[in-house]
Amino acid sequence: MNYDLIVFDWDGTLMDSTAVISGSIQAACRDLYLPIPTDEMARHVIGLGLEQALSYAVPTLTDAMRPALVARYRHHFLSQDSAIPLFDQAHETILSLHQAGYLLAVATGKSRLGLDRALETTQLHPYFHATRTADQTFSKPHPAMLLEIMTELDVSPERTLMIGDTSHDILLAQNAGVDVVAVGHGAHSGEDLLKLNPIALVNDFVTLQAWLKENA
């Protein structure tokens, strides 16, 4: 084993939630007569903490309007949350890594409440040894999420692998001195991800499973 710890992003990496998140951002802006971000902009901010993401997606957002926009976003997202599926073979991949003896963790822009709900509905909760969310520590790409997970599980950066679908995930890993594999089925395009030099780019969990078997 080249790694002891494998850390996954959640939205757009394990869960096929990109369209729901970006659509909820746009719908929330429409509700409040705010400028509606393009699809590209709404997808780009996925992976950041919610308030940070909304501030990037709506540059004219004021502090006074932020709570209302957060509330409308949550309204739209939560109305669809329970029906969002995992990517094909995601559950099987996590189970096989768990059975192989890897430590597993999640580093996500979701809230603590949101991740706990997702872990429960997907029945993946038993397989993860540590998790960090954007309301517990610094948002990506600050390295705190990974640094805290590695400290909690007593694993060095050299023995840790990050897997994510956005530039925020790649920069998080690089800032923490951790290898990172990018997945191209989520919020950011494979072309954009490759510009940041992950150690590999895969497009689905079948390919990821093969890469992990060969390299992890």
Question: For the residues 44-67, what does the mean pLDDT come to?
Answer: 92
Q: Where is the domain boundary, 82, 105, 135? A: 82
Q: Looking at the structure, do residues 135 and 157 belong to the same domain, yes or no?
A: yes
> 210 pLDDT band (50/70/90 cuts)?
very high
Question: For the residues 142-155, what does the mean pLDDT come to?
Answer: 98
Q: Looking at the structure, do residues 94 and 164 belong to the same domain, yes or no?
A: yes
Q: Looking at the structure, do residues 66 and 95 belong to the same domain, yes or no?
A: no
Question: For the residues 112-121, what does the mean pLDDT come to?
Answer: 95
State yes or no: pLDDT of 30 exceeds 90: yes
Q: Looking at the structure, do residues 11 and 44 belong to the same domain, yes or no?
A: no
Q: Looking at the structure, do residues 63 and 125 belong to the same domain, yes or no?
A: no
Answer for the pair 193, 184: CB distance below 8 angstroms, yes or no: yes
State yes or no: pLDDT of 13 exceeds 90: yes
Q: Looking at the structure, do residues 70 and 147 belong to the same domain, yes or no?
A: no
Please tell me the predicted confidence (pLDDT) of residue 200: 98
Q: Which of 148, 150, 172, 171 is nearest to 159 (CA)?
A: 150
Q: Looking at the structure, do residues 11 and 22 belong to the same domain, yes or no?
A: no
Percentage of residues of the chain with pLDDT beyond 70: 100
User: Alpha-carbon distance 180 to 192, whole Å?
Assistant: 15
Q: Looking at the structure, do residues 109 and 185 belong to the same domain, yes or no?
A: yes
Domain range for 180:
5-16+84-215
User: Alpha-carbon distance 51 to 36, whole Å?
Assistant: 16
Q: Looking at the structure, do residues 76 and 96 belong to the same domain, yes or no?
A: no
State yes or no: pLDDT of 195 exceeds 90: yes
Enter the pTM of the model.
0.93
Please tell me the predicted confidence (pLDDT) of residue 147: 98
Answer for the pair 174, 163: CB distance below 8 angstroms, yes or no: no
* Cα separation of the two ends of the chain: 6
ω before 141 within 30° of 0 (cis)? yes
Q: Where is the domain boundary, 38, 55, 82? A: 82
State yes or no: pLDDT of 159 exceeds 90: yes
Number of domains comprising the chain = 2
Please tell me the predicted confidence (pLDDT) of residue 134: 94
How do residues 95-116 score in pLDDT, each as one tens digit? 999 999 999 999 999 999 999 9
Percentage of residues of the chain with pLDDT beyond 90: 95
Burial class of residue 62 in the structure, from the number of CB atoms within 10 Å of its CB (0-12 exposed, 13-18 middle, 19+ buried): exposed
Please tell me the predicted confidence (pLDDT) of residue 109: 94
Q: For helices 205-215 and 90-100, what crossing angle results, to 10°?
A: 20
Q: Looking at the structure, do residues 67 and 172 belong to the same domain, yes or no?
A: no
Q: Where is the domain boundary, 60, 82, 104? A: 82
Please tell me the predicted confidence (pLDDT) of residue 163: 98
Please tell me the predicted confidence (pLDDT) of residue 82: 86
